[in-house]
Amino acid sequence: MYSLFCGSGIQGVMQSIGDIQKCIGSCSKVLQIIHMPKSEMNEYWSMDSINFLKSKNYGIRFENVSYSYDTSSTAESDNNTTDDNNDNRTGGNSNSGSNIHSGSNIHSGAKSADTQSNNNERHYALKNVSFYLPHNKSVAIVGKSGSGKTTILNLLSKKNMITLGKIYIGEYSIDKINSSVLLSVLGVVTQNPFLFNCSIKSNLTYPYKAYEELLKEQIYLIEKKKMAQLCGGGSSSSGSSGGSGSSGSNNSIHSDIQKSTEDINEILTFLNKEIDDTKKKLNNATEKLKDLYKDFHIDDFLINYSNYDNVNVGANGNFLSGGQKQRVYIAQNLYKDNKILILDEPTSSLDKISEKIVNETLIKYMKGKTTILFTHRLDVLHSVDYIGVLNDGVVIQFDTSSNVLNNPCSILKQILSQNAYEKIN
């Protein structure tokens, strides 16, 4: 599990956890388990994060994004210099529907990754990547192995911090959004499926439960702060913030809590409402679960159990076949009504029949969400709104799916013909 809240390094840690309840019992424990940066544990959500959650625009914009896994040199500091200039960015209003950044903009950034790498032979996994995916639209990003697909996922989910450029969701730069908030709106299917050692139902409902815990923790932190202020403490920059690291970028987050009582009460009202909504969704889970079981043919393999909601999947889903595990894992990421879906080769471990079923179901569930689908497999290309082609870290084509399919670049042609070959064999 990646969305709410996971990283691909989670599996080893999670295998030692016997029961999901152990994780849900304490929010900070959940966050530790999922390798949330330490600085982001027990921290207040920024006002940007709260407004981000309230927002109605989850379009995704990459602006001249470059990334190198080689962190030994200093390029990262370049990125921070523009931190407070979000409002000056080009096309700051991400609502502008049909406006798409295409491949032709890729090298227009003031700083070029190639220039950065001249001196130290730094290898960039992404080079000046720019594209815009409007709210509630879908894109398939196609590229050969090693072209940078998973790197896009890692940056968008803040698993890795961006080296150069900016990523916006709606009007918010993701570096202003707390990781836990960001992950709470993302449904992410990685190339390494992971399930908790508990029932299918608990696995599917886990993201809601974890979100509820995070909301409760925010309320706890704010109430604690209010109490401290009432008792005359009020000294903001000391350790009264629930134990979080209060240095560096966290200062702006902490300062938010110094706002007027009115603001704080508004935040509390929002958090309480979110908890109520989440509880309602959990209480009304049965119908939605049934739909997911049916849509992902989970029913097929659970039909022999009298109470299949409670069938235990084993440590990391080991009681299930690879394909069954993958289907439960995808269903888990669709159960919570995430605003954004990121699917990294979601059908890679499925046979052709299961792949067809899952692709059809995914297309159904993608509606009403902003979706990025990374794939080598091209069956779904006609069903997405946009197609991007990535080659060696560079976006070489990005346009509406019909435009791209009518005029595919040479790399896409190669991949398409390979795909046709695989289908025949």
Ligand X SMILES: Nc1ncnc2c1ncn2[C@@H]1O[C@H](COP(=O)(O)OP(=O)(O)OP(=O)(O)O)[C@@H](O)[C@H]1O
Q: Do residues 281 and 208 lie in contact, with contact meaning Cβ atoms separated by under 8 Å?
A: yes
Among 147, 202, 391, 401, binds ligand X (CB under 6 A): 147
The amino acid that residue 66 corresponds to is S
Candidate segments 143-151, 226-234, 249-257, 287-295, binder of ligand X by CB under 6 A: 143-151
Enumerate residues 33-72 that contact ligand X by CB under 6 A.
Answer: 69
Beta carbon of residue 66, minimum distance to ligand X (angstroms, whole number): 12
The entry of ligand X, Mg ion, none that residue 145 binds, CB within 5 to 8 Å by partner kind = ligand X
Per-residue DSSP letters for 119-145? TTTPPPSEEEEEEEE-TT-EEEEEE-T
Q: Which is nearer to ligand X, 74 or 145 (CB)?
A: 145
Q: Which is nearer to ligand X, 148 or 346 (CB)?
A: 148
Q: Which is nearer to ligand X, 145 or 304 (CB)?
A: 145
Interaction between residue 146 and ligand X (CB under 6 A): yes
Interaction between residue 375 and Mg ion (CB under 5 A): no
Candidate segments 41-49, 148-156, 236-244, 333-341, binder of ligand X by CB under 6 A: 148-156
Q: Tell me which DSSP letter residue 199 carries.
A: B
Interaction between residue 159 and ligand X (CB under 6 A): no
Rounded Cα–Cα distance for residues 70 and 129 (Å) = 18
Beta carbon of residue 148, minimum distance to Mg ion (angstroms, whole number): 8
**Residue partners of 317: CB distance under 8 A and separation at least 6:** 193, 194, 195, 324, 325, 328, 329
Beta carbon of residue 315, minimum distance to ligand X (angstroms, whole number): 25
Q: Which is nearer to ligand X, 222 or 396 (CB)?
A: 396
The entry of Mg ion, ligand X, none that residue 146 binds, CB within 5 to 8 Å by partner kind = ligand X
Q: Which is nearer to ligand X, 69 or 305 (CB)?
A: 69
Strand partners, 142: 375, 389
Interaction between residue 150 and ligand X (CB under 6 A): yes
The amino acid that residue 26 corresponds to is S
Strand partners, 394: 391
Interface characters, 90-129, with ligand X (x: CB under 6 A):
-----------------------------------x----
Candidate segments 89-97, 150-158, 363-371, 413-421, binder of Mg ion by CB under 5 A: 150-158
Q: Which residue has the tokens 């790197």?
A: 151
The entry of Mg ion, ligand X, none that residue 361 binds, CB within 5 to 8 Å by partner kind = none
Interaction between residue 148 and ligand X (CB under 6 A): yes
Q: Do residues 405 and 382 lie in contact, with contact meaning Cβ atoms separated by under 8 Å?
A: yes
The entry of Mg ion, ligand X, none that residue 164 binds, CB within 5 to 8 Å by partner kind = none
Beta carbon of residue 8, minimum distance to ligand X (angstroms, whole number): 9
User: How big is the site for ligand X, counted in residues (CB under 6 A)?
Assistant: 10
**Residue partners of 425: CB distance under 8 A and separation at least 6:** none
Helices 285-295 and 322-335 sit at what angle, rounded to 10 degrees?
A: 140
User: How big is the site for Mg ion, counted in residues (CB under 5 A)?
Assistant: 2
Interaction between residue 147 and Mg ion (CB under 5 A): no
The entry of ligand X, Mg ion, none that residue 134 binds, CB within 5 to 8 Å by partner kind = none
Q: Which is nearer to ligand X, 146 or 233 (CB)?
A: 146
Interaction between residue 305 and ligand X (CB under 6 A): no
Chain centroid to Cα 257, Å, comes to 26
**Residue partners of 10: CB distance under 8 A and separation at least 6:** 1, 2, 33, 34, 35, 194
Q: Which residue is nearest to Mg ion (CB)?
A: 150
Taking CA 95 as the corner, what is the angle to CA 91 and CA 98, rounded to the nearest 5 degrees?
Answer: 85
Q: Which is nearer to ligand X, 122 or 209 (CB)?
A: 122
Q: Do residues 169 and 60 lie in contact, with contact meaning Cβ atoms separated by under 8 Å?
A: yes
Q: What are the start-end ranges of the H helices in 106-247?
A: 113-117, 149-156, 179-185, 200-230
Residue 267 phi, psi dihedral angles, 5° rounding:
-65, -45
Q: Do residues 271 and 278 lie in contact, with contact meaning Cβ atoms separated by under 8 Å?
A: no
Kindly tell me the sign of the dihedral angle through the C-alpha atoms of 71, 73, 79, 80.
Answer: positive
Kindly tell me the sign of the dihedral angle through the C-alpha atoms of 399, 404, 408, 413.
Answer: positive
Rounded Cα–Cα distance for residues 337 and 334 (Å) = 7
The entry of Mg ion, ligand X, none that residue 261 binds, CB within 5 to 8 Å by partner kind = none
Residues that bind ligand X (CB under 6 A): 69, 125, 143, 145-151
Residues that bind Mg ion (CB under 5 A): 149-150
